[in-house]
């Protein structure tokens, strides 16, 4: 896409920031499951599973990402990536709004962790054998959550070679930070305000989707990338209004009652 050698710092920052935050959210979810496997069944198999899944994802990003950026025409790629980002972002934003309004339960890493621990303990472990259960669970968790990271990296990297590098580095740094904190604490990262992050990143993904799709159709945004913060603010404002509207529609106890329906 575009001229890969000349990408301004603002564009790089705009690609790296959502890639970092969105990847961190996904890494928190994967780290919770890997931690649960490691604590209950030992660390060897889940760590090998994690490395295998990470390698698989690296190959996917390297092949699909680079191929897309270098082969597909710029306007077509921007249009497709814009549409996909919009759909992906709307999914995150909708869920975050419903969670803030109490209609969907807030994602509780501690609860997920305790449930995984109980399930894994129930499965038992034979000594002196490679723990395939631990390997498969860690591999699946990292691959599934990592697929979303790969999608985000490829989408934000679609702005050009330097953007792909910045999005990839942002995702890797997010992974290192989350895994390091998880390994140091040896407990799920419950302090991460996951819904706030999903709310913010959902708005950013939708904004990039709208921005790129319109650019693909030939529109020139006023101030180019400088108009993105305005679009993000519009999504945040509309979502905040939606939270207020839902809270007015379903006052106190909607979450508990909705769970019981």
Partner 1 sequence: MFRTLWSTLYGLLVDDGQLAIGALVALAITWGIAYAGGDGGRDVTGWVLLVMVLGLVVANLYRAGVDVRRRVSSAQR
Given the rule CB under 8 A, which residues bind partner 1?
Answer: 83-84, 86-88, 90-91, 93-95, 97-98, 101, 103, 144, 147-148, 151, 206, 210-211, 213-215, 217-221, 231, 234-235, 238-239, 241-242, 245-246, 249-250, 254, 257-258, 260-261
Minimum CB–partner distance for residue 168 and partner 1 (Å): 19
Judged by CB, which is closer to partner 1: 192, or 231?
231
Minimum CB–partner distance for residue 118 and partner 1 (Å): 25
Minimum CB–partner distance for residue 172 and partner 1 (Å): 21
Minimum CB–partner distance for residue 187 and partner 1 (Å): 28
Minimum CB–partner distance for residue 259 and partner 1 (Å): 10
Judged by CB, which is closer to partner 1: 111, or 242?
242
Spell out the SS3 assignment of the chain: CCCCCCCCHHHHHHHHHHHHHHHHHHHHHHHHHHHHHHHHHCCHHHHHHHHHHHHHHHHHHHHHHHHHHHHCCHHHHHHHHHHHHHHHHHHHHHHHHHHHCCCCCCCCHHHHHHHHHHHHHHHCCCCCCCCHHHHHHHHHHHHHHHHHHHHHHHHHHCCCHHHHHHHHHHHHHHHHHHHHHHHHHCCCCCCCCHHHHHHHHHHHHHHHHHHHHHHHCCCCCCCHHHHHHHHHHHHHHHHHHHHHHHHHHCCCCHHHHHHHC
Minimum CB–partner distance for residue 169 and partner 1 (Å): 23
Judged by CB, which is closer to partner 1: 147, or 190?
147
Judged by CB, which is closer to partner 1: 34, or 85?
85
- Phi-psi group of 223: left, alpha or beta (phi > 0 → left; psi -120 to 50 → alpha; rest → beta): left
Judged by CB, which is closer to partner 1: 124, or 218?
218
Judged by CB, which is closer to partner 1: 20, or 235?
235
């Amino acid at each position: 896409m575009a001229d890969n050698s000349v990408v301004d710092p603002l564009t790089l920052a705009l690609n790296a920031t959502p890639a970092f935050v969105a990847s961190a959210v996904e890494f928190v979810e994967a780290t919770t499951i890997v931690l649960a496997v490691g604590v209950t069944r030992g660390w060897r198999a889940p760590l090998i599973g994690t490395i295998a899944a990470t390698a698989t994802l690296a190959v996917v990003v390297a092949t699909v990402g680079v191929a897309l950026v270098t082969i597909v025409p710029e306007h077509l790629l921007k249009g497709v990536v814009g549409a996909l980002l919009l759909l992906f972002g709307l999914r995150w934003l909708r869920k975050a709004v419903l969670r803030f309004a109490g209609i969907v339960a807030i994602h509780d890493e501690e609860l997920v962790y305790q449930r995984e621990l109980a399930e894994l303990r129930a499965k038992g472990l034979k000594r002196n054998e490679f723990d395939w259960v631990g390997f498969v669970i860690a591999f699946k968790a990292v691959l599934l959550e990592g697929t979303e990271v790969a999608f985000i990296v490829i989408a934000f990297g679609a702005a050009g070679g330097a953007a792909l590098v910045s999005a990839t580095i942002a995702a890797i740094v997010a992974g290192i930070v989350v895994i390091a904190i998880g390994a140091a604490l040896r407990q799920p990262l419950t302090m991460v305000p996951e819904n706030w992050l999903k709310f913010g990143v959902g708005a950013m993904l939708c904004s990039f989707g709208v921005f790129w799709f319109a650019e693909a159709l030939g529109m020139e945004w006023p101030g180019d990338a400088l108009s993105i913060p305005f679009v993000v603010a519009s999504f945040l404002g509309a979502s905040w209004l939606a939270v207020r509207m839902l809270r007015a529609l379903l006052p106190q106890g909607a979450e508990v009652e909705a769970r019981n329906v």
